[in-house]
Amino acid sequence: MAQMLDIALPKGRLGETAYDILRRAGYGCPQLEEGGRRLVFENPECGVRYFWVKPSDVAIYVERGAADLGIVGRDILMEYKPDVYELRDLEIGRCRMAVAGKKGFRDNMDRTLRVATKFPAIAARHYARKSREIDVIKLNGSIELAPLLGMSDVIVDIVETGKTLRENGLEPLEDILQISARLIANRVSYRFKHAEVMALSAAVAERIGK
Ligand code: PRP
């Protein structure tokens, strides 16, 4: 008998787009489409149970086996390096991680560079490769404020349209990585629910034309 698949979806627009792919791939869940404040939804007919989690927590649920599968941005995978399988690039949620600073910013090599970011590991690796000494200031949002208030010299952040940077007088200085959403699997689920995981992954691939 087929086993149920537990799937962690990132709350927000990315999760909704990802769910739409899953629905069209034959894994719909009418309960979930009703909206409201519930966090867990299931459709035993298709063998799926979904739950909405904070986007940066998806990989934790999957790594610890609370979810068999999850949808997560490559930024999160590169930051936390969770021990999970990356099954597929869903080619949605495309954006990039970039260094940005005030217009006309020039790095002064005599001083430690102050870098504000939600992604301290990515920032640290980026500057270690260049042997540039930095002071990482870890923030949880509204990163663009840090250089405006003189708290940091630059930021390492996600750029999608570039609108947030522009409207705050900042400009991209350097790209660090290209980002898109990935379908990930728990390592144990991948072995013990292999047929179900592969069936879902193949159905999704067909939907996104791969
Ligand atoms: C992200 C990112 C930028 C913005 C980029 O912020 O941190 O602020 O989106 O998008 P844009 O290039 O299209 O303007 P998010 O909305 O996730 O909020 P937060 O980082 O402030 O929490």
pLDDT given at position 64: 98
Ligand 1 pocket, CB under 6 A: 141-144, 157-164
**C-alpha to C-alpha distance for 50 and 6, rounded to whole angstroms:** 6
Element of type H or E holding 102: strand 95-102
Quick: pLDDT tens for 39-64: 999 999 999 999 999 999 999 999 99
DSSP state of 3: P
Q: Average pLDDT over the chain, rounded to whole?
A: 96
pLDDT given at position 1: 72
pLDDT given at position 128: 98
**Cα 167 to averaged position of ligand 1 atoms, centre (Å):** 12
The ligand 1 atom at the shortest distance from the C-alpha of residue 95 is 12
pTM of structure: 0.94
- DSSP character string of 139-195: -SS-TTHHHHTTS-SEEEEEESSSHHHHHTTEEEEEEEEEE-EEEEE-HHHHHHTHH
Mean pLDDT, residues 132-154: 97
Nearest partner of 182 among 87, 98, 51, judged by Cα:
87
Inform me whether the pLDDT recorded for 210 exceeds 80.
no
pLDDT given at position 35: 81
Quick: pLDDT tens for 96-129: 999 999 999 999 999 999 999 999 999 999 999 9
Q: Whose CA is nearest to atom 10 of ligand 1?
A: 160
Contact 72, 184 (CB under 8 A): yes
Model confidence band, residue 2 (pLDDT cutoffs 50, 70, 90): confident
